[in-house]
Amino acid sequence: MESFYNRRIHIWASVVSQSDATVNLVLSLRGGKGGFGSLLRGAATKSGQNKTNNFDAFRDMSGRRLRHVNAEKRLEEWREGEEERKLEKIAHEFLKKQAKKVKQDLSFMLSTCNCNESTKP
C-alpha cells in the first residue's frame, strides 16, 4: 500500500507484474464535484441572455457614443424651447402681478365697505 497526497492507494502485485496488464487509476480530490464553478458558469450565460434596452454605451458609425449624441439632441431641443420658456415666465409674472393687484383692490374695497357699515347708526 502506497500513499499519494495523503491518500492510500492499493496496488495488487499480481496484476502489476503482468506485462500486458492495464491499470485503471481513479483519483479523487477533496472539495466535491465543483458545483460552485458550474454555478458561476451558469449564471454568466444567464446574464448574457438578458436583453438590454440601454444602448447609451454603444457607438454610432462615426465612433461617437450614443449617450453623447442623445445628450446633444436634448440640448438642441432645450435651446429651441428657450424663447417659449421666456414667454411663459413673463406671462407667469404678469399673472402674479394681476392677482396681487386684484387682492389689494379687494382688500381695499372690503376695508372701505367695513368703514361705511361701522359709521352707520
pLDDT tens, residue by residue, 2-37: 555 555 555 555 555 667 777 676 666 665 666 667
Domain that holds residue 88: 64-120
Whether 44 maps to a domain, the answer reads no
At residue 81, φ and ψ (nearest 5 deg) are: -90, 5
Taking the C-alpha atoms of residue 118 and residue 106, their distance in angstroms, rounded to an integer, is 18
Whether 18 maps to a domain, the answer reads no
User: Which pTM value belongs to this model?
Assistant: 0.39
Angle, in degrees to the nearest 10, between helices 82-119 and 66-80: 50
Domains of the chain: total: 1
Whether 70 maps to a domain, the answer reads yes
Largest CA distance in the chain: 141
Taking the C-alpha atoms of residue 4 and residue 29, their distance in angstroms, rounded to an integer, is 11
Confidence band (pLDDT; 50, 70, 90) for 87?
A: very high
Whether 101 maps to a domain, the answer reads yes
34 phi-psi bin (left φ>0, alpha ψ -120 to 50, beta other): left
DSSP conformation class of 59: B
Return the higher-pLDDT residue of 110 and 114: 110
Whether 74 maps to a domain, the answer reads yes
Whether 94 maps to a domain, the answer reads yes
Whether 97 maps to a domain, the answer reads yes
Whether 10 maps to a domain, the answer reads no
Which pLDDT value is given to residue 74?
Answer: 95
Q: Provide the 10 A C-beta neighbour count for residue 66.
A: 14
